[in-house]
Structures are given as structure tokens and as C-alpha cells.
Structure 1
Amino acid sequence: MLLISCPWCGPRDETEYHYGGQAHVPHPENPADLSDEQWAEYVFYRDNPKGPFAERWMHSTGCRRWFNVLRDTVSYAVLASYRLDEPRPELPQAGGNR
């Protein structure tokens, strides 16, 4: 089970949240100008990285607010959580000093 920290309510069990997909996906400036292929790409295609990934979550049984979570897709570890109006936190580079 994941322990996710809501920026307003603090740490809670993942069963209190709803997953909202990839974070930081900009809405097209002129959606009416997109071809069907471009619109399908915007709606359905998302990144699927191995490692840290920014996701949207909603605290559905708490404050009902949306926020972002940086989660490692390999270990499932929650690395950071932050409000939608905050920038994505920088993470230390793997390997450190070589």
C-alpha cells in the first residue's frame, strides 16, 4: 500500500485517493485546429518511463483537491507531493559523485 502525503491533509493511505494520470500535460492552445490523430495523441498517449514520474492524484475522501505526486515507477516509492500551483521538485541525480 502506498502512503501519499496530501499537501493540505498530510500523509494518508492510497485508498483515500483517485489517480488522475500523467501530470504536466498542457492543454492544446487551439483544440479545434487539431487533426483527429493529434487529438487522439493528446487524449490517449502518455509517457511510461522507468523511474520518477509526475502524476496527478485527488484526495477523494479528504479535502477533494487535486495535486501532483512524483512516484518511482520501479519501486513505487512516493518521492514528493506538491500542489498544482507549485513547480515540479528537482530530484538528486542517481549516482551522485563519481
Structure 2
Amino acid sequence: MLLISCPWCGPRDETEYHYGGQAHVPHPENPESLTDEQWAEYVFYRDNPRGPFAERWVHSTGCRRWFNVLRDTVTYEVLAVYRLDEPRPELPQAGGNR
């Protein structure tokens, strides 16, 4: 079971949330000028990395607010939680000073 800490409500079980896809995907500046292929890429194609990945989640059975979660896609560990108006947090480099 995944424990996610809502920025407003605190830690809750993952069953209280709904996944909203990749975070930080900018809306096209001029969507009317996109080709069908470019529009399809914006709508359907997302990154699928191994390791830290920024995702959007909504606390659907709680405060109903959207926020971002930085989660490791290999271990499922939640590395950081931050509001939509906050920048993505920097992660310490592997093998750095302790």
C-alpha cells in the first residue's frame, strides 16, 4: 500500500487519491497551429522513465485538490510531495556526501 502525504490534509492511504498523469507538461502556446501529429503527441505521449518521475495526483475523497508527487517508478517510494504552485524539488545526487 502506498502512503501519500497530501500538502493540505497530511498522510493518507493511496485509495483516497486518483492519478492524473505526468506533471509539468506545458500546454501548447498556439494549439490551433499544431499539426494532427503534434497534437496527438501532446495529448497521448508521455515519458515512462525508470526512477524519479513527477506525477499529478488529486485527493479525491479528501480536500479534492491537485498536487504533484515525485515518485520512484522502480521502488514506488514517494520522494517528495509539492503543490502545483511550487517548483519540482531537487533530489540529492546518488553517491553524494552524507
| TM range, smaller chain | over 0.9
CA distance in 1, matches of 2:48, 2:93: 19
Cα distance between partner residues in 2 of 1:77 and 1:95 = 18
Aligned residues: 98
| Structure 1: gaps (5+ residues) | none
How far residue 94 of structure 1 moved from its aligned partner, in angstroms, is 1.0
Counterpart Cα distance in 1 of 2:81 and 2:97:
26
What is the correspondence of 1:1-98 to structure 2 with a 5 Å cutoff?
1-97=1-97
Q: Secondary structure at the match of 2:41?
A: helix
CA–CA distance in structure 2, aligned partners of residues 11 and 50 of structure 1: 25
- The whole-number CA distance in structure 2 between the counterparts of 1:71 and 1:17 is 14
- TM-score, normalised to structure 2, is 0.97
Structure 1, residues 2-38: CA drift from partner, whole Å, max 9, x if none?
0000000000000000000000000000101000000
Q: Deviations over 1:36-94 (max 9, x none)?
A: 00000000000001100000000000000000000000000000000000000000011
Q: Secondary structure at the residue paired with 1:32?
A: helix
- Cα shift at 1:95: 1.6
Q: TM-score, normalised by structure 1?
A: 0.97
Percent identical across equivalent pairs? 92
Cα shift at 1:97: 4.6
The runs of 5 or more residues in structure 2 that have no matched partner are none
**Cα distance in 2 for residues equivalent to 1:41 and 1:60:** 28
For residues 90 and 25 of structure 2, the distance between their equivalents in structure 1, rounded to whole angstroms, comes to 18
SS at match of 2:82: strand
Question: What is the rounded CA distance, in whole Å, between the counterparts of 2:26 and 2:52 in structure 1?
Answer: 19
